[in-house]
Structure 1
């Protein structure tokens, strides 16, 4: 943001002279923008307690969680393509992608989480116990990361930038439109 006397200058923005403007849109299908998917989870758990002695108790178990997101996100062939030298790829994907299928989510994979714990009671004059445990514990997936696979597919992004100047939108692979209106100073 340009500054005038240390204060942000919004004059260019008000006059329609912008440096960089990103718009997440899909003119062919406006419903493609929201992250629309179903998030289901299956959880199984088994645990046992073994009273080894009057002083020692062992607890062990395993939990298996299977998260599922359906349907799969829309496939982005550019993202899935192999990286190529600058500008040597096709017109729709001049630099290639990352070689990763963006439709893969965490569906159908079990997350195995074993656990073990103990409780030892000391035979002392004053009551005392030593407790501990170790295990793998998984919380819910950050839904913003999962949702981004649906709403930020790379196929619903249009960038408007100032031609001839550096901005994130002037990188090949982005659809850059020249701005309307008078040229900036």
Structure 2
């Protein structure tokens, strides 16, 4: 009887520890997600300030060359000011539409917190900012191909375009 109570107490303590670590880096947030959005990536680099700025970019990723599949993706990021320099605080990537098991969106990010001149959105001017380098790969089983993009987000709200005509898609049969 003592062993089963001890085991039950250990299991309860383990579950409590797991629940308390939900604010760690790359842990999904508790924010409800619409049924037409699937969270593919969620990371936090810096604690959001009182009034973080939020940005969003929605695009369609075309996978394949002859036969193609279009996957709509939404990229959300927030920015904060650290030591007078705008920085990316968090990044979330969603696959839009009903969840499709035949497509897979894989995202990796690398944050550069050094203040460097970066482009402003909708302007040719530059200002100092931190940046996040994003590698996004979308795989589609229906066409046995994938498209891969590398792009930049910065603390000023700038993002590179993921237009298939400007950024070449890489397709390979599997």
Query: TM exceeds 0.5?
Result: no
Using CA pairs under 8 Å that are at least 6 residues apart, name the structure with larger relative contact order, 1 or 2.
1
Greater Rg, structure 1 or structure 2?
Answer: 1
TM-score range, shorter chain: under 0.3
